[in-house]
Amino acid sequence: RCIAVQAKHTTTELKGQTGRSACFSINRAGSISTLDSLDFARYSDDGNRESDERVAVLEFELRKAKETIQALRANLTQAAESEVPSQERKNFKSSPEIQEPIRPLEKRALNFLVNEYLLKNEYKLSSITFSDENDDQDFELWDDVGLNIPKPPDLLQLYRNCGTSPPSLRDRVDVSVGVNFTDLPGNCITQDPPKKPDLSQQQQTEVVQELEYQISLLNSEKESLAGQIKKLQSEIQTLKRTVSSPPPTIQDLDNGQYLDIRGVSEPESDLDPPSTHNASQYHSKLKSRPPVQFDQPNRKLSPAFQQALLSFCRMCSDSRLGAEVSRIADSEESVMLMLGRCLPHIVPNVLLAKREELIPLILCTACLHPEPKERDQLLHILFNLIKRPDDEQRQMILTGCVAFARHVGPTRVEAELLPQCWEQINHKYPERRLLVAESCGALAPYLPKEIRSSLVLSMLQQMLAEDKADMVREAVVKSLGIIMGYIDDPDKYSQGFELMLLSLGDPSERVVSAVHQVFIPAFAAWTTELGTLHTALIPSLLARIEKLLMQGEHSLDEHKLHVFLSALQSLIPPLFAVVLQNAPFTSRANLHRDTPAIEGQLLPFRILPQLIEIVGRINVTSSTCVHEFSRFFWRLCRTFGKIFTNTKVKPQFQEILRLSEENVDASTGNGILTKATVPIYATGVLTCYNQEEDRKLLVGFLEDVMTTLSLSHAPLDSLKASFVELGANPVYHELLLTVLWYGVVHTSALVRCTAARMFELLVKGVNETLVAQRVVPALITLSSDPEISVRISTIPAFGTIMETVTQKELLERVKMQLASFLEDPQYQDQHSLHMEIIRTFGRVGPNAEPRFRDEFVLPHLHKLALANNSQAVESKRSDIATQLFEAYSALSCCFISEEVMVNHFLPGLRCLRTDMEQLSPEHEVILSSMIKECEIKVENRAMADAQGSMSIASSLVGEDAKTKFLSKMGQLTTSGAMLANVFQRKK
C-alpha cells in the first residue's frame, strides 16, 4: 500500500526533483525506499522538455561542483593517502603486532622532518646524502609533501609531546561533503551502521569515495555537456519509438554496443539489432554478441516495480566513472569508444616516469576510434605525454608513430600525425622539438610523396635554419637524409643542394658530422639515380671553389673552402660507385680498343686536370687550404686504388711539376714549384701508400724540390708547407730527417742553407731523442760550414731548440754554439749574423728558460746595442736598431730580475735610444718613456719585491705612460721595411 500511494504522487514530484537522483533520472530510479523518482516521462512524447530540464539540472550541478571544489581539494591528499585496502585493514586490527606499512604521504612528511632536523643540528653532510637518496622530493618546500597539508611541528617538538594524548575522534572527524549520507538512501554511497572500533576508518573510506566521485564529476561534466545533450536526444528518439510498451531491457545506446548492468534483461526475440556508429568507415563492420538470456521467475511484477526493488542495490552509476564501469563493451568499436573517453582522465594521473606504458593504449585507440575529433585528442596526448622525453621515451613514441602509420596509411598520417608535429615545431623544450625532427624522418616512408617533398621538407628546412639547439639540428639533418632517400621530384635537386651547403656550414661539429654520415650519402645516391652526381653536383662544388679562389688570397673565406672541400671528399665513395657502374670491364668492352674512349668520359679523369689547376692557385702559406686539399687527394687516391694513383694521378702531377735538371733555371726557376701543388702532391698523393718504393719516391721528390728551389733562389714556402704538413705525423719524422741530411751533405751551399733553415720547422714536433741524435749533430756540422751563409742559417734552428728542449746537456751544447757566434772575433763584423741573432732572440727569448734569458740573451743584446752606437755605416746601424727595437719590445713583457734590469736591460735601452735620437725621433719618444718608467720602478723595487717580479710592459710602465706608449706604437709599424723608410727620410 505504501508503494502504491507513493506511485500516485510520482508525476507531481518529478517536476520538482533536483539533485543527483534527478540528474540521471533517465537511466535509473533515484530512490531506494520509494518510487518517487520513476521517470514515466521517459515513455512519453514530451522528450524535448525533459531534455531541456536535464540540461538545466546539469548546469546547476556544475555550478555546485565548482563551489565545493576548493574544500574538496583541501581534503583530497590526506583522504587519498589514508586509504588502505580493506583486507589489510582487517589484518592490522585482528593482529595488533603487525605494523601497518608506511604510506607515501607519511614517508614524505617524515623525510622532510628528518632532513629539517639534520640541517638545524649541523649534520650537513648527512642531509646532503639523505637528499640524494630521496631525489624525488623537494626538501626546501613543504608543499611538495602534499596538497594543502599543514606542516607539523619539528621532530624535537614531536618528541617532547610524544606523551600527550591525541585528540578525541570526535575532534578529528571532518567529512566536509555538505550532505548527510544517511539522508540519501538512493545515493551511490550508503553507510552501514557504524561500528565503534573502526568508525573513523569507515568514514575516511566513504569520504575518499565521495571526493573521487566529485572530482571526476567536475572533470567530466564540463567537457561532455554537449555530448550528453546529443545522447539524450538519441535516447528520446529511441523512447518515442518504443513508447507503446516499456522495454524489457534498458540499454544505453552510446555510439556502440554495451551490456548495461543497470537495467533488467528479459528474453525478447524481436529486439532490433544494435546500432553501429556512422564513422565506422575506417573499420570493417563489427558484429556484436547476441543478447544474453537469463532465467526469469514466473512472476507478474511490473517492470517499474521490479526496477524500484533493484534500486536498493548499492551501485554507483550516476557518475562518469560509474557509468563507464556499469557498461561493459560488447564490441571492438565500443571498446575504442570507452578508451577514448577514459584515457584523457587516466593520463594526467600516471607518473611521468611510467607514462610510456600508456603508449600502446593511446595508439591503438587512436588507430581504431571512429571519431576524428577523439583521434586528434588522443594523438595530441601522445605528443604531449611526457614533458621532456628522454632518448628512450622518444624512441618509444617514434616506434608507436611508425606502427600507427603502417596501420592507417598515408592519408591519415598526413591528416592526423603531421599536424601534431607542426604544432610543436617551436616548442620551448628542445626535447619536444627533437621529437618533431625525428618524427619527420621516421614518418617519411609512410607519407604521400607530395607531402614528403613539400611540407615535411619545408618544416625541416625551417628548423635547420632557426633552431638554436645543436641536438635538434643534428636530428633535422638526419631526417633530411631520410627524406633524400625517398624523394623522387627532380625539381627538388637545387633545394637539396642548398640544404647540404647550409648544414655543412653549421657551427656545431655534431651537425656537420651528421651531414657527412647521413645527408650527403643519401643526397649522392639520389643524384646518382638522376645522373647528376658527376654532371652537376661535383662540378658545381668545383665551380664554387674556383670562385672563392678568384676573390684573391687576402679575402679568401677559408671556412667556405673547408665546407666545399669536405663535401667533395664525402662524395668520393659515391663517385667511385658511379665509375664502377660505367667502367669498361672485360665482359662489356674490348680493353685495347674501347678503354681510352670510355675512361675519357668518366668524371675522375675529366676533373683531375681541373683539380690540379685549382691547387696551383691556392695560397701556399695557408695551412688550412693545403691541409684540406691534401686530405681530399689522399681520400681520392685511397678510394680509387694504387693502380689508379700510379697510372692516372701521379703522371698528371709530374707532368705539371716537371722536375728535371734541364728545367732548373738559376734565375727564374720552375714557378709551379713555389705553389701549393708541391705540398699537396707530397702529402695528398705520395703518402697514400707506405711501401718502400712509395717512401723512396716521396724522399726523392722532396730532395728534388729542395734542390731546385735552392739553386733557383726561389721562395721556400712550398717546401716549408710540405714539412709542416708531414711533420704533424710522427711517422714521417725519420723520412724528413733523411731528406734534410741529404741537404746537409749537398755540394751546393745554397742547398745546405735551405737544409739548415728547414731544421727549424722540425724541432718543435720531433721528440728530444731525435733532436739530440739527428738534429743537433746536423746543425753542428752546418755551423762549421765553409760558407758563412750556411752557418748563419743554423741560428733560427738553434734558437728554437733553446725555446723547446729541456735536456740541460743539449741546451749547454747549443748555448756554446750561439756564444761562439757572438764572441768569436771572426764574426765581429758579420752584419747578417748579428741581424739573425737579434731576430732569433726576440722570437724565442720570451718563451725560453728565464736563466738563459737573463744570463745570455739580455747581456748579449746589451753588447750589440752598445756596439751599434759606433757603427759607421748608417744603413747597417738602422737595420740593427730596428731589429733591437723589436727584440726589446718583445722581451719587455718578461719577468726581469732587478740586477739584470740595472746591469743590462736599462743600459741596452739607453744605447738603443741614442741610435733612435738620430734615426727615428718617433721611436726615441717611446724608448724614453720605457726608460723613465723602468727607472722609477727600480727605485721603488723594495716595495715591489713583496709582490714578486713584475713585467715591464704591464706593471713597470704606469697606466699613463702605457697608454702613451701604445698610442705611439699604434702610429708606427716595427717592420724593417717601414723603419728603413723612416731612416731614408732622415738622410
Model pLDDT for residues 591-607, shown as the tens digit of each residue: 445 444 445 455 566 78
Q: 577: buried, middle or exposed (CB in 10 Å: 19+, 13-18, 0-12)?
A: middle
More confident call, 8 vs 531: 531
Q: 516: buried, middle or exposed (CB in 10 Å: 19+, 13-18, 0-12)?
A: middle
Report the alpha-carbon distance of residue 367 to residue 374 in Å, rounded: 11
Which pLDDT belongs to residue 503?
Answer: 95
Model pLDDT for residues 211-252, shown as the tens digit of each residue: 766 776 666 666 666 666 766 766 676 666 555 444 443 334
Which pLDDT belongs to residue 326?
Answer: 65
Report the alpha-carbon angle 405-407-409, nearest 5.
60
Here the cell at position 146 is: 602534499
In contact, 881 and 976? CB cutoff 8 Å = no
Here the cell at position 221 is: 561534466
Report the alpha-carbon distance of residue 307 to residue 317 in Å, rounded: 14
Model pLDDT for residues 295-334, shown as the tens digit of each residue: 777 878 788 888 787 777 766 656 777 777 766 666 777 8
Which pLDDT belongs to residue 20?
Answer: 39
Model pLDDT for residues 971-981, shown as the tens digit of each residue: 444 444 443 34
Here the cell at position 675 is: 705553389
Domain extent listing, the chain: 104-161, 329-385, 837-945
In contact, 670 and 629? CB cutoff 8 Å = no
Residue bearing cell 587519498: 80
Residue bearing cell 607518473: 351
What's the whole-model pTM score? 0.61
Report the alpha-carbon angle 546-548-550, nearest 5.
70
| Element housing 258 (H / E) | strand 258-260
Report the alpha-carbon distance of residue 183 to residue 3 in Å, rounded: 19
Report the alpha-carbon angle 822-828-834, nearest 5.
55
| H-state helical runs in 317-452 | 320-326, 332-346, 359-368, 372-383, 391-408, 410-412, 418-423, 430-442, 449-451
- One-letter amino acid for residue 266 of the chain: E
Highest-confidence range of 16-20, 335-339, 408-412, by mean pLDDT? 408-412
pLDDT category of residue 433 using cuts at 50, 70 and 90: very high
Residue 885 has pLDDT above 80, yes or no: yes
C-beta contacts of 228-235 below 8 A and 24+ residues apart: 228/54, 228/55, 228/58, 229/51, 229/55, 232/26, 232/50, 232/51, 232/54, 232/55, 233/51, 235/26
Which pLDDT belongs to residue 633?
Answer: 94
In contact, 30 and 208? CB cutoff 8 Å = no
At 463 the three-state DSSP class reads helix
DSSP category for residue 173: -
Which pLDDT belongs to residue 894?
Answer: 80
Residue bearing cell 734569458: 853
Backbone angles phi, psi at 707, to 5 degrees: -65, -50
Residue 762 has pLDDT above 70, yes or no: yes
Q: Span 710-718, mean pLDDT?
A: 92
Which pLDDT belongs to residue 75?
Answer: 52
More confident call, 22 vs 468: 468
Which pLDDT belongs to residue 168?
Answer: 42
Which pLDDT belongs to residue 584?
Answer: 67
Here the cell at position 308 is: 524500484
In contact, 529 and 488? CB cutoff 8 Å = no
- One-letter amino acid for residue 599 of the chain: E
Which pLDDT belongs to residue 839?
Answer: 93
Residue 696 has pLDDT above 60, yes or no: yes
| Element housing 2 (H / E) | helix 2-8
Which pLDDT belongs to residue 270?
Answer: 38
Angle (deg, nearest 10), helices 457-466 and 470-486: 150
Model pLDDT for residues 38-73, shown as the tens digit of each residue: 444 344 445 455 566 677 777 777 766 666 665 455
Across all residues in the chain, what is the average pLDDT? 76
Provide the terminal-to-terminal Cα distance of the chain, rounded to the nearest Å.
141
Which pLDDT belongs to residue 163?
Answer: 52
Which pLDDT belongs to residue 289?
Answer: 54
**Maximum alpha-carbon separation in the chain:** 146
Torsion sign (Cα): 522, 528, 532, 533: positive
SS3 readout for 188-243? CCCCCCCCCCCHHHHHHHHHHHHHHHHHHHHHHHHHHHHHHHHHHHHHHHHHHHCC
Here the cell at position 208 is: 575518499
pLDDT category of residue 198 using cuts at 50, 70 and 90: very low
Q: Span 824-842, mean pLDDT?
A: 89
Q: Span 82-86, mean pLDDT?
A: 51
At 895 the three-state DSSP class reads strand
Here the cell at position 483 is: 627524406
pLDDT category of residue 963 using cuts at 50, 70 and 90: low
Closest CA to 701 of 735, 662, 669: 735
Report the alpha-carbon distance of residue 863 to residue 980 in Å, rounded: 22
| Element housing 726 (H / E) | helix 717-727
Which pLDDT belongs to residue 238?
Answer: 63
In contact, 361 and 400? CB cutoff 8 Å = no
In contact, 315 and 326? CB cutoff 8 Å = yes
Residue bearing cell 601497518: 100
Query: What is the bridge-based pairing of β-strands 258-260 and 327-329?
Result: antiparallel
| Element housing 939 (H / E) | helix 921-939
Report the alpha-carbon distance of residue 497 to residue 483 in Å, rounded: 13
In contact, 545 and 564? CB cutoff 8 Å = yes
Report the alpha-carbon distance of residue 578 to residue 857 in Å, rounded: 63
Report the alpha-carbon distance of residue 20 to residue 221 in Å, rounded: 13
**What proportion of the chain, given as a percentage, has pLDDT over 90?**
31
